[in-house]
């Protein structure tokens, strides 16, 4: 097995609009010695809301251990992992105006909504900048109906690097495979990778020769696009420079990629790619958007004929449709844990140094005011987060407080995340992390 500590990293450089992340300009810098193994965080957001009745065991109204408690049917796949999870009930997100979706506000902890640009960096990107640097610190993937993933292979609705700077999710696994593993592929994939690389290099060259006659404001904006092409090309080159390492982790490129029968074939393929980036060490933060932060989405591969907005108007508790969707999500969560458990790291495994955050971009339901926003945390983040627990909060702390807690868990403490004192005086009863969650 390849030890995660031995994965090479580099210094950070700004990437442009297309990826919204950072890359390593000097690929062959060795990683420094850490007191503990590097940490990583995964965010998984299901659209249409997360009804607490689908995750809170019946009868539980106060914080308690999960030992001896049976999990609800929708999350029953997590039953063998009860000792490694924390089910949280009682956070709120009223200030994010979630309704159909809080969009960027779900991970940003600020007002969101359709057509509203991000007001600041989201917690996933913030964490990606604080963890040990990798080639691609932050990867976002989005799962949707097959026709939507084909027609809009990239979409930005959930993550951002800063005010007005969204990060795009990748939804076509063929495009993402080519970007990540095209340098080690053969046949058509390799041919397309080289052809696209040549085109992008030419565009960068041509773009860099123009724009000097533009007004200053437009010239700066133009420069961002030029930098974006430059960084995409740089990312391709650096991935290719570690091709021997990546060969150990590239998923099988077969019919699920090329001939999907259902959208779930592509969902599974995207998950495989996300896992590969984590196990290979080329990213530390993965964001998964099931439904891509909007009101759409389909799961015909699970035998579900209903799709899109209609799913949001169905009651989730005891609903066989939502039981299937939630169980499918939990099977993905289990796969993530099992794959990371298979890679040694330090005195344990990668999963020992990983935290998975599962929730919805819609708080508890469609058309919500954000009065209750359930979460499930999986993993203890190198022993910083309590597990084997159900945590009932009093509804007085916002999702921002959880994100503040995550920052404390990765050794980047602060009093608040994306919440000024005036907003906090209305929406947050305390300052700092949620102590009930800290180990």
- Residue 20 pLDDT class (50, 70, 90 cuts): very low
Residue 395 — φ and ψ, nearest 5°?
Answer: 80, 5
- Quick check: 16 pLDDT over 50? no
pLDDT in tens, 102-150: 999 999 999 999 999 999 999 999 999 999 989 998 999 999 999 999 9
Of all residues in the chain, the percent with pLDDT exceeding 70 is: 79
Q: Count CB neighbours of 152 within 10 A.
A: 14
Mean pLDDT computed over 284-300: 97
Q: What pLDDT score does 244 carry?
A: 86
Q: What pLDDT score does 216 carry?
A: 59
pLDDT in tens, 93-107: 999 999 899 999 999
Q: What is the pLDDT of the chain when averaged over all its residues?
A: 85
**Mutual angle of helices 187-208 and 216-241, in 10-degree steps:** 150
Give dist(CA 273, CA 172) in Å, integer: 11
- Residue 33 pLDDT class (50, 70, 90 cuts): very low
- Quick check: 193 pLDDT over 50? yes
Q: What is the CA radius of gyration of the chain?
A: 21
Q: What pLDDT score does 10 carry?
A: 29
Query: Among the listed ranges 136-150, 168-182, 193-207, 377-391, which one has the minimum average pLDDT value?
Result: 193-207
Q: Exposed, middle or buried: residue 347 (CB in 10 Å: 0-12, 13-18, 19+)?
A: exposed
User: Which carries the bigger pLDDT value, residue 31 or residue 311?
Assistant: 311
Q: Which helix (H) or strand (E) holds 181?
A: helix 173-181
Q: Report residue 126 as tokens.
A: 């913030």
Mean pLDDT computed over 281-294: 96
Q: What pLDDT score does 289 carry?
A: 98
Q: 87 near 66, Cβ under 8 Å?
A: yes
User: Which carries the bigger pLDDT value, residue 57 or residue 199?
Assistant: 57
Q: 381 near 355, Cβ under 8 Å?
A: yes
Give dist(CA 436, CA 393) in Å, integer: 9
Query: Among the listed ranges 210-214, 349-353, 413-417, which one has the minimum average pLDDT value?
Result: 210-214
Query: Among the listed ranges 42-51, 229-238, 342-351, 370-379, which one has the minimum average pLDDT value?
Result: 229-238
Residue 119's contacts (CB-CB under 8 Å, 6 or more residues apart) are 104, 105, 108, 110, 111, 163, 418
Q: 366 near 48, Cβ under 8 Å?
A: yes
Q: What pLDDT score does 220 carry?
A: 55
Q: Report residue 105 as tokens.
A: 């506000």
- Least Cα distance to 131 among 45, 21, 235, 233 occurs for 21
- Residue 190 pLDDT class (50, 70, 90 cuts): low
Query: Checking phi first, is residue 227 left (phi over 0); if not, alpha (psi -120 to 50) or beta?
Result: alpha
Q: What pLDDT score does 225 carry?
A: 52
Q: Count CB neighbours of 94 within 10 A.
A: 18
Of all residues in the chain, the percent with pLDDT exceeding 90 is: 72
CA angle centred on 366, ends 293 and 58, rounded to 5°: 110
Query: Among the listed ranges 229-238, 348-357, 407-416, which one has the minimum average pLDDT value?
Result: 229-238
Q: What pLDDT score does 215 carry?
A: 57
How do strand 13-14 and strand 354-360 relate by DSSP bridges? Answer: unpaired
Mean pLDDT computed over 50-76: 97
CA angle centred on 40, ends 116 and 393, rounded to 5°: 65
Q: What pLDDT score does 25 carry?
A: 31
Give dist(CA 133, CA 401) in Å, integer: 25
How much is the pTM?
A: 0.86
- Quick check: 35 pLDDT over 50? no
- Least Cα distance to 153 among 141, 138, 136 occurs for 141
Query: Checking phi first, is residue 63 left (phi over 0); if not, alpha (psi -120 to 50) or beta?
Result: beta
Q: What pLDDT score does 11 carry?
A: 25
Q: Count CB neighbours of 119 within 10 A.
A: 18
In a 3-state reduction of DSSP, which class is residue 141? strand
> Bridge partners of 362?
none
- Residue 239 pLDDT class (50, 70, 90 cuts): confident
Q: 143 near 290, Cβ under 8 Å?
A: yes
- Quick check: 30 pLDDT over 60? no
Length of the chain equals: 439
- Residue 195 pLDDT class (50, 70, 90 cuts): low
- Residue 39 pLDDT class (50, 70, 90 cuts): confident
């Amino acid at each position: 097995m390849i030890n995660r500590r031995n994965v090479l990293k580099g210094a950070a450089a700004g990437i442009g609009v297309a990826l919204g992340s950072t890359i390593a300009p000097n690929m062959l810098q060795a990683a420094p010695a850490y007191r503990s193994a590097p940490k990583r965080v995964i965010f998984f957001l299901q659209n249409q809301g997360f009804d607490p009745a689908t995750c809170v065991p019946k009868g539980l109204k106060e914080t308690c251990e999960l030992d001896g408690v049976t999990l609800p049917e929708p999350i029953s796949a997590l039953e063998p992992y009860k000792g490694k999870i924390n089910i949280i009930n009682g956070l709120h997100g009223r200030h994010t105006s979630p309704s159909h979706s809080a969009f960027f506000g779900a991970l940003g902890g600020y007002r969101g909504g359709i057509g509203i640009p991000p007001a600041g960096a989201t917690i996933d990107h913030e964490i990606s900048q604080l963890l040990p640097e990798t080639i691609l610190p932050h990867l976002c993937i989005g799962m949707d109906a097959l026709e939507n993933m084909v027609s809009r292979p990239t979409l930005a609705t959930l993550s951002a690097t800063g005010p007005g700077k969204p990060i795009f999710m990748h939804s076509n696994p063929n495009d993402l495979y080519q970007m990540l593993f095209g340098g080690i592929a053969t046949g058509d994939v390799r041919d397309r990778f080289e052809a696209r690389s040549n085109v992008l290099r030419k565009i960068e060259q041509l773009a860099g020769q123009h724009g000097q006659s533009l007004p200053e404001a437009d010239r700066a904006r133009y420069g961002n696009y030029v930098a974006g092409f430059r960084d995409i090309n740089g990312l391709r080159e650096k991935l290719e420079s570690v091709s021997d390492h990546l060969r150990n982790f590239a998923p099988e490129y077969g019919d699920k990629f090329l001939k999907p029968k259902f959208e779930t074939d592509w969902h599974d393929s995207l998950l495989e790619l996300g896992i590969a980036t984590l196990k290979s060490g080329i990213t530390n933060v993965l964001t998964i958007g099931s439904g891509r932060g909007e009101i759409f989405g389909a799961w015909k591969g699970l035998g579900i004929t209903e799709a899109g907005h209609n799913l949001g108007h169905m009651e989730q508790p005891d609903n066989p449709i939502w039981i299937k969707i939630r169980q499918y999500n939990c099977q993905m969560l289990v796969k993530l844990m099992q794959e990371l458990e298979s890679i040694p790291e330090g005195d344990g495994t990668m999963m020992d140094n990983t935290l998975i955050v599962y929730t919805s971009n819609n708080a508890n339901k469609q058309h919500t005011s954000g009065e209750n926003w359930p979460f499930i945390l999986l993993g203890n983040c190198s022993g910083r987060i309590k597990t084997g627990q159900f945590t009932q909060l009093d509804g007085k702390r916002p999702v921002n407080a959880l994100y503040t807690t995550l920052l404390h868990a990765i050794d980047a403490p602060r009093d608040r995340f994306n919440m000024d004192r005036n907003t906090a005086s209305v929406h947050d009863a305390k300052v700092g992390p949620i102590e009930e969650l800290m180990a």
